[in-house]
Amino acid sequence: MSSSTAEGHSARGAGSRGGLARSLALLGHEVRMQQVLFWRNRESAVFVFVFPPMLFLLLGSVYSDTIDGERAVNVLLIGMLGYGCANTALAGLAISLVVRRESGMLKRLRATPLPAWTYLSAVVLSTLVVFLLQMAVTILLGFLLFDADAPVTWVGLVLVLLVGVAAFAGMGFGVASLIRSDEGASAVVNLIVLPMAFLSGSFGSTNDYPEVLQKIAEVLPLTYLLRLTNAAYLHGEYLTSDLTAVAVLVAWGLGGYLVAAKRFAWQPRER
Amino acid sequence: MSEPSAAIRVRSLRKAYGEHEAVRGLDFDVMPGEVFGLLGPNGAGKTTTVEILEGYRERDAGDVEVLGADPWQAGTAHRERIGVVLQHSQLPPLLTVREVHSMFAGYYERPRDVGEVIELVGLAEKAESQVKTLSGGQKRRLDLGIALIGDPELVFLDEPTTGFDPTARRSAWELVRSLRSLGKTIVLTTHYLDEAQQLADRVAVIREGQLVRIGTPQELIGVAPEVEVRYREDGRDVVLTTSEPTRLLAELTSAAVADGRELEGLEVRRPTLEDVYLGLVDEEAVE
């Protein structure tokens, strides 16, 4: 059926000329196109790019004092980095893939010599570019408006968020593979991401949440991304300091990629 | 066995979706440089056949060769050589015509010049317009431009003029003719008879996944020897079919002249491909 099309197409490599150079040129071309497509679509650019920093502005203006013993602005900033990661890599990626699949765009691309893996890598890389920009804007807003503290380790912070983007992109591919129509895509995706962000503590402390909600949060990937981000930002710790959290996050990401490997389709689900 | 030079070779092709057998044993060859029409009513298996040839669907049984390769197994090098116009596919609505062409040009090793292709498909005036502002006919021409951007040897057109007004259809036909003059091999599916008759060097009529007849439009028309003679008498339409139109006309007209009558609305019609086609389809339906 349609889902096995990828195998049928990927039998040979990236063309006859120049092997690796050609592959990289194709990848660069496609990342550029993904960027043009992303920024040209104002509605989705606002939803994916502007929404998390905007929420940060709102929450940052409301909370002062401290949250769980840390300066509120730092905690909210970390929360919005995590939410932004899920919103960009899971929600944004899944919605745009479903829309492109149902419009026949992905199917049309399969008839070109662009290899499947090049396209999918470009989608992830482009998502990463968007998220890194968003992260820079959010942190800058924190510095300029709320006098937020700088992260103790920049390198550690970026490493955590790279793992976060890779994991949530996996979930994005998985979710896109399960959504059947483009009309419901953004509703379904927000039904996943917003409650997850709330439960995981993106919008503030979860200490006063009922125990049931706290239990649910314990299995959510964003909980662990926030824990790792927190450790890097406030305490200068690297990924290796909390391998359990890394393992849960990676497991969720792999789960997403596995679902996608089984169910991802290039053709509209018309049948 | 077919000549090795066939651009497409299809033997005993079968494809079922669950219980429904969409293609039930098709055989045909498409020669390089020819415009080959797959003609049939909706649901005849045209799109399934073309999508197997394009590499989108895996066949259940039979042999298929497209430019010497099995399209289901073929890789990116094969896709450098084919161009595709799908029945339903939208190109990014917010990119301009030029941007979409450049985007796809980037996927090919030796693309054609973007400006040239835009000119060829008659979108030069729309080059800087966003795709969403194009009319239906212009979008179809954009699809065609994208199919040509990699300079393919073989082009698949799946119902390229469905939903067009007559003017847009004529200009699309001109475009297909110009492709043919460039030496491209073209496989065209259509349920419009006039389109097949106008464009195709050879036509395969398929119905319920089987080949009903194959040949040039002239050959297909030649299959039916009957000619229709029509006129009106006492306010009623009279339709006579005959394989000897000369004699029938002589009899009719001399009788009318002798009686001093005029044969109102006298008309002699050779069958069109449409008559032949409908005849073929009906024949099959009776069986």
- Looking at CA atoms only, how far is residue A29 from chain B in angstroms? 7
Distance CA B50, CA B157 (A): 9
The answer to which of A14-18, A46-50, A199-203, B83-87 has the lowest mean pLDDT is A14-18
What's the number of CA atoms in the CB half-sphere (13 Å) around residue A52? 35
- CB-based contact A111 B58, cutoff 8 Å: no
Smallest Cβ distance to B104: which of A2, A5, A112?
A112
Contact between B191 and B236 under an 8 Å Cβ cutoff? The reply is no
Cα three-residue angle A135-A139-A140, rounded to 5 degrees: 115
- CB-based contact A10 B75, cutoff 8 Å: yes
Contact between B148 and B117 under an 8 Å Cβ cutoff? The reply is yes
Cα B124 off chain centre by? 26
Cα B198 off chain centre by? 9
Residue A67 has what DSSP assignment?
E
Name the band, by pLDDT with cuts 50, 70 and 90, for residue A245.
Answer: very high
Residue B79 touches chain A, beta carbons under 8 Å = yes
* pLDDT at position A193: 95
- Looking at CA atoms only, how far is residue B157 from chain A in angstroms? 13
A237: left (phi over 0), alpha (psi -120 to 50) or beta: beta
Residue A19 touches chain B, beta carbons under 8 Å = no
Residue A4 touches chain B, beta carbons under 8 Å = yes
What's the number of CA atoms in the CB half-sphere (13 Å) around residue B182? 17
Which residue of B lies nearest to A115 if distances are taken between CA atoms? B76
Contact between B245 and B227 under an 8 Å Cβ cutoff? The reply is yes
Contact between B264 and B231 under an 8 Å Cβ cutoff? The reply is yes
- Taking contacts as CB-CB distances below 8 angstroms, the residues of chain A near B55 are 8-9, 110-111
Distance CA A179, CA A98 (A): 7
* pLDDT at position B225: 61
Which residue of A lies nearest to B88 if distances are taken between CA atoms? A104
* pLDDT at position A256: 96
Closest CA to A176 of A43, A265, A86: A265
Distance CA A214, CA A206 (A): 7
- Looking at CA atoms only, how far is residue B232 from chain A in angstroms? 50
Mean pLDDT of chain A: 90
- Taking contacts as CB-CB distances below 8 angstroms, the residues of chain B near A36 are 95, 99
Q: Which of A26-35, A43-52, B86-95, B137-146 is predicted most confidently? A: A26-35
* pLDDT at position A4: 40
Q: Which two tokens stand for residue A120?
A: 């999918």
Residue A108 touches chain B, beta carbons under 8 Å = yes
Residue B146 touches chain A, beta carbons under 8 Å = yes
- Looking at CA atoms only, how far is residue B48 from chain A in angstroms? 12
Residue A219 has what DSSP assignment?
T
Q: Which two tokens stand for residue A58?
A: 């709102």
- CB-based contact B77 A15, cutoff 8 Å: yes
Residue A214 touches chain B, beta carbons under 8 Å = no
Residue with tokens 């909706």: B42
- Taking contacts as CB-CB distances below 8 angstroms, the residues of chain A near B108 are 112-113
* pLDDT at position A7: 38
B235 vs A215, higher pLDDT: A215
Cα B4 off chain centre by? 24
Q: B180 CB contacts (<8 Å, ≥6 apart)?
A: B33, B35, B186
Range A186-208 average pLDDT: 92
- Length of chain A in terms of residues written: 271
Which residue of A lies nearest to B149 if distances are taken between CA atoms? A112
Write out residues 28-47 of A within 8 Å (CB-CB) of B: 29-30, 33, 36-37, 40-41
A110-127 tens-digit pLDDT: 999 999 999 999 999 999
**Is the per-residue pLDDT at A11 higher than 50?**
no
Residue with tokens 């400006």: B115
- CB-based contact A16 B91, cutoff 8 Å: no
Which residue of A lies nearest to B18 if distances are taken between CA atoms? A1
- Taking contacts as CB-CB distances below 8 angstroms, the residues of chain A near B74 are 11-12
- CB-based contact B58 A40, cutoff 8 Å: no
Q: Which CA distances in Å does A255 have to A97, A170, A223, A259, B161?
A: 18, 7, 17, 6, 44
Contact between B156 and B83 under an 8 Å Cβ cutoff? The reply is yes
Contact between A72 and A63 under an 8 Å Cβ cutoff? The reply is yes
Write out residues 252-271 of B within 8 Å (CB-CB) of A: none
Best to test chain B binding among A29, A99, A112, A123 (most B CBs inside 10 Å): A112
The tens-digit pLDDT sequence of chain B (287 residues) is 444 589 999 999 999 999 899 999 999 999 999 999 999 888 889 999 999 999 999 999 999 999 999 999 998 999 999 999 998 889 999 999 999 999 999 999 999 999 999 998 889 999 999 999 998 888 988 999 999 999 999 999 998 887 777 887 888 888 899 889 988 999 999 888 888 888 999 999 998 999 988 999 888 776 656 788 888 888 888 888 888 888 888 888 888 888 888 888 888 877 766 777 777 766 554 44
- CB-based contact A104 B89, cutoff 8 Å: yes
- CB-based contact B106 A36, cutoff 8 Å: no
- Taking contacts as CB-CB distances below 8 angstroms, the residues of chain A near B73 are 8, 11
* pLDDT at position B215: 92
Residue A105 touches chain B, beta carbons under 8 Å = yes
Residue B72 touches chain A, beta carbons under 8 Å = yes
Distance CA B73, CA B17 (A): 20
A204 vs A231, higher pLDDT: A231
* Three-class HEC string of chain B: CCCCCCCEEEEEEEEEECCEEEEEEEEEEECCCCEEEEECCCCCCHHHHHHHHHCCCCCCEEEEEECCECCCCCCHHHHCCEEEECCCCCCCCCCEHHHHHHHHHCCCCCCCCHHHHHHHCCCHHHCCCEHHHCCHHHHHHHHHHHHHCCCCCEEEEECCCCCCCHHHHHHHHHHHHHHHHCCCEEEEEECCHHHHHHHCCEEEEEECCEEEEEECHHHHHHCCCCEEEEEEECCEEEEEEECCHHHHHHHHHHHHHHHCCCCEEEEEECCCHHHHHHHHHHHHHHC
Residue A70 has what DSSP assignment?
E
* pLDDT at position A270: 62
**What ipTM was estimated for this complex?**
0.87
* pLDDT at position B4: 55
Contact between B93 and B142 under an 8 Å Cβ cutoff? The reply is no
- Length of chain B in terms of residues written: 287
Contact between A76 and A59 under an 8 Å Cβ cutoff? The reply is yes
* pLDDT at position A253: 97
Alpha helix ranges (H) inside chain A: 5-9, 19-40, 42-45, 51-62, 72-85, 93-102, 105-110, 116-146, 154-178, 185-200, 211-217, 221-235, 243-263
Contact between A81 and A161 under an 8 Å Cβ cutoff? The reply is yes
CB pairs under 8 A between A and B: 93
Write out residues 118-177 of A within 8 Å (CB-CB) of B: none
